[in-house]
Chain A
Amino acid sequence: MLKHSKSKHSKKIHSSIDSPRKRLFLFILGGWLLLILSNQVGEFSLYQGAFVATYAVGIASIILLTGYSGQLSLGHGALMAVGAYAGALTINSLQWHPVVALIMATLVAGLFGLLLGGAVARFSGPYLAGTTLALAIALPSLANQFPILGGEQGLAFDVGASPARFGDDFSPYKWFFWIATLAALIIIWFVANIAASRFGRTFRAMRDNPIAAQLCGVNVARQKVTAFAISSGVAGLSGGLLVMLITGVSPSVFPLSLSLLLLSGAVVTGLYNLKGVILGGLVLVAIPEIAESLVTRIGGSENVANSLPGFLVSALLILAVMFTPNGPEHIFKRKH
């Protein structure tokens, strides 16, 4: 039974992303459609769309780590912070191009993840969860200690105006949207490729049966560190995008709840489902909106207004675990 359902999983993965060329084509098409779309919608929607893309990248990093390699991290907010600060320093101190800053965010967070993963990836389930949880609260508070990181105020993160050739009516929000969407598409494409590669297969084998994988000559420890490092890099990019959108980075941008929010997004998406990351991002962006409109409509008190988003995210998380534990697609194919 178990075996049966697993082979079904892997078949699905392969059919959804069967050939790299087809995948690339799909992504280019998708990107093009989105950019066309960006001319049709309002500024605020663009801004929110950029958030969706940012969260999607964050969720992709969790899916890579938890869905594919079976490691649970409760501290991806901290890795986002690493990326965000690295990006901010690149812009502020080195005066480099914002795109380079985002690449730096990815690389530095990836390197950090490599070092951290080297130490922690061999910890099993709850030990890894504990360590990453501790990291999530420790790292942002550490930023206060270093003047170069700007203390409580933090640092500005200004990607500047859009290039002149895009024209005058190319708003900053549209510029954000373009950057974030492009980054998200590249990342999803990248992660999909990893998932379909030998790497991805090894990750899954490791997750499902670490001992067998080890006996088959897989260096489990190294694979885990690799997964951790790549996931960290992706998280770092998402951190860079996040602070781009709010034009500054400070410790308070990365509370513990951010790490948990991303995990929620990943679970709602289905831990195994890369195509769903956009949906996950949408959900995370939509919930505060829904909460707000609910409160204005039914006229709840301030307490309700403050608590409703958290309630909705949590309720969704529990419902997702209970009713679509392996992603929304399974609603339709559960009985096998």
Chain B
Amino acid sequence: MTQFFTAVLTSLSSGAIYALMSIALVLVWRSTRVVNFAQAGQAVLTTYIGYEVIQRTGSYWIALVAAIIGGAIIGAFIDRFFMRPIFKRVTSGPIVLIAPVVATLGLLGIIEAVIGVVWGLNNQSIEPPVSNAGFNVNGTVIAFSLFNAFVLGTVAIAMILLTLLFQKTNIGLALRASAYSPEISKLSGIRVDAVRTLGWAISGAAGGLAGMLYVPSTYLFPNAMDVLLVFGFIAAVIGGLESMVGAVVGAMVLGCAINFVATYISTALVFPTAFVVLILVLLVRPSGLFAGKKGRSA
């Protein structure tokens, strides 16, 4: 019983981190029609920034803020000075279908290589701001800690803030409108390019937050976020790529599947489980759980 309960809690807290990554990918997909693989690089780079801030100030909290802001700046920068020129240049031929994705893969490689040069390949660690030791329930230590609770709470707050931003503010309306129909938005006077860059910034901030919440439980190295990116992407695909609610649901489904298999069967089956969940969902709904009614072809 305790085991089951613990599995639910750990599912939620790892699902929460997948959800952040998944939302980061969905935000960019909706506005730019690109699966941004560089997000793994952006997130790990911002986490290294957080790491450096901790080395200098000793404060996780300052580092957290720095990573979020840093993530936003890096995201905006990449859209403005990397993606936009690529979209301008590559307009014909068979490559058009995959050029943006390939470009983000290339960028991922570059970011990770640069990190490797600056910080090396060795594992670094970030101390969790609150205890990461499992709670003691009636004498048994469970696999859920205060830090896990902190992760869950932080992500929940981030989700609420994002939802408010998107649903209740003018900027949110511009973000949604530009994603659904760039042309009509432009004709209505909205600076769609700037709005898109803002979307990348928010996405980068979410990635930075994900990194700062994920790394304290493991280690920091150049490829530290790759797995998170894959899980985030799978979660986004399960959720239908378009929808932030879908991204969160997809992440929770994935988190549960992975943690339950890890708890009850074997930790070695984590990746195959992710694959099986993904393919089962897509076989039933080829565009994910929350895809819009009108199928977009891109």
Which residues in window 191-238 of B have CB below 8 A to A?
222, 226-227, 230, 233-234, 236-237
Query: What bracket does the count of chain A residues touching chain B fall in?
Result: 35 or more
Task: List the A side residues contacting B226 at CB < 8 Å.
Answer: 256
Q: Are B287 and A124 in contact (CB under 8 A)?
A: yes
> Measured between alpha carbons, how far is A123 from B276 in the docked complex, in Å?
15
Cα A148 to Cα B282 in complex, Å, equals 31
With known contacts A123-B282, A145-B268, A317–B102 Cβ distance under 8 A:
yes
Contact of B110 among A123, A207, A271, A311 (CB under 8 A): A311
Are A123's CB and B117's CB within 8 A? Answer: no
Interface positions of B from 65 to 117, Cβ below 8 Å from A = 85-86, 89-90, 92-99, 101-103, 105-110, 112-117
Of residues 303 through 326 on chain A, the ones whose CB sits less than 8 Å from some CB of chain B are 303-304, 306-308, 310-311, 313-315, 317-318, 321-323, 325-326
Given known contacts A307-B116, A321-B103, A134 and B287 CB-to-CB distance under 8 angstroms: no
In the complex the two chains form, is A67's CB within 8 Å of B113's CB? no
Contact A321 B99 (CB under 8 A): yes
Contacts of B109 in A (CB 8 A): 260, 310-311, 313-314, 317
Q: Which residues of B contact A325 (CB under 8 A)?
A: 89-90, 92-93, 95-96, 99
Contact between chains at A127 and B288 (CB < 8 Å):
yes
- Beta-carbon contact of B110 and A318 below 8 Å: yes
A85 at the interface (CB under 8 A from B): no
- Complex CA distance for A207 and B283, rounded to whole angstroms: 22
Closest to A130 in B: B237
Segment at the B interface, from A37-45, A89-97, A135-143: A135-143
Q: Which residues of A contact B113 (CB under 8 A)?
A: 307-308, 310-311, 314
Contact present for A131 and B101 (CB under 8 Å): no
Which listed residue, A139, A207, A318, touches B106 by the CB 8 Å rule? A318
Docked Cα-Cα span, A326 to B106, in Å, equals 16
Give the chain A neighbours of B248 by CB distance below 8 A: none
| Chain B positions within 8 Å of A321 at CB level | 86, 90, 95, 99, 102-103, 106
CB closest chain-A residue, reference B108 = A314
Q: Bin the interface of chain B by size.
A: 35 or more
Q: Taking the nearest CB of chain B, how far is it from the CB of A13, in angstroms?
A: 11
Interface string of B169-210 (1 = CB under 8 A from A): 000000000000000000000000000000000000000000
Given contacts A129-B35, A317-B105, A321-B102, contact A141 B268 (CB under 8 A): yes
Q: Could you tell me which residues of chain A, from 103 to 154, have a CB within 8 Å of some CB in chain B?
A: 119-120, 122-127, 129-131, 133-135, 137-139, 141-142, 144-145
A residues near B120, Cβ cutoff 8 Å: 302-303
A15 in contact (CB, < 8 A): no
Q: Are B116 and A126 in contact (CB under 8 A)?
A: no
What residues on A are CB-neighbors of B110 within 8 Å? 311, 314-315, 318
Separation of A321 and B88 alpha carbons in the complex (Å): 12
A124-B295, A307-B113 are known; give 10 further A-B pairs, CB within 8 A: A72-B97, A119-B279, A137-B275, A138-B271, A141-B268, A263-B105, A264-B106, A310-B109, A310-B112, A325-B92
Task: List chain B positions with a Cβ less than 8 A from chain A.
Answer: 29, 35, 85-86, 89-90, 92-99, 101-103, 105-110, 112-121, 222, 226-227, 230, 233-234, 236-237, 241, 266, 268-272, 274-276, 278-279, 282-283, 286-288, 295, 297-298
Shortest Cβ-Cβ A-B pairs, 5 listed? A314-B109, A307-B116, A311-B113, A138-B275, A326-B93
Give the B-binding residues of A (Cβ under 8 A). 2, 5, 9, 66-67, 70, 72, 119-120, 122-127, 129-131, 133-135, 137-139, 141-142, 144-145, 207, 256, 260, 263-264, 267, 271-272, 302-304, 306-308, 310-311, 313-315, 317-318, 321-323, 325-326, 330
